Amino acid sequence: MQIVSIIIIVLGTFFFLTGTLGLLRFPDFYTRMHATGKADTLGSLLILIGLALYHGFTLGTAKIILIAVFIFLTSPTATHSIAKAALKNKVPMWTKENDK
């Protein structure tokens, strides 16, 4: 079980890394929000699930699962709200003309 939990934790760390890479590489605010919102949610969920498996079934595991559910519900909602506020405040979107 330890090997499975370590693999899941490493996979979650990989998604955090790809989200950070997307934050650095994508051209505008909206694509950066998309990359970090999706990758950070999945990465944190995988890391928390890996920690729960590693820890075994205890009260600590129940708390970890509740934290994972909270992140699963709030992170996409927060990302959507921030992107909607940016759209309302007319933050410009990337176009091919911006690269010229």
Helix axes 59-88, 29-55, angle to 10 degrees: 180
Residue 43 and residue 16 in contact, taking contact as beta carbons nearer than 8 Å: yes
For helices 29-55 and 2-25, the axis angle rounded to 10 degrees is 170
pLDDT digit string (tens) for the chain, length 100 residues: 899 999 999 999 999 999 999 999 998 899 999 999 999 999 999 999 999 999 888 998 999 999 999 999 999 999 999 999 999 998 888 877 766 6
- 79-88 as b/e, with b when 16 or more CB fall inside 10 Å? beeebeebee
This prediction has a pTM of: 0.84
Residue-range domain boundaries for the chain: 2-99
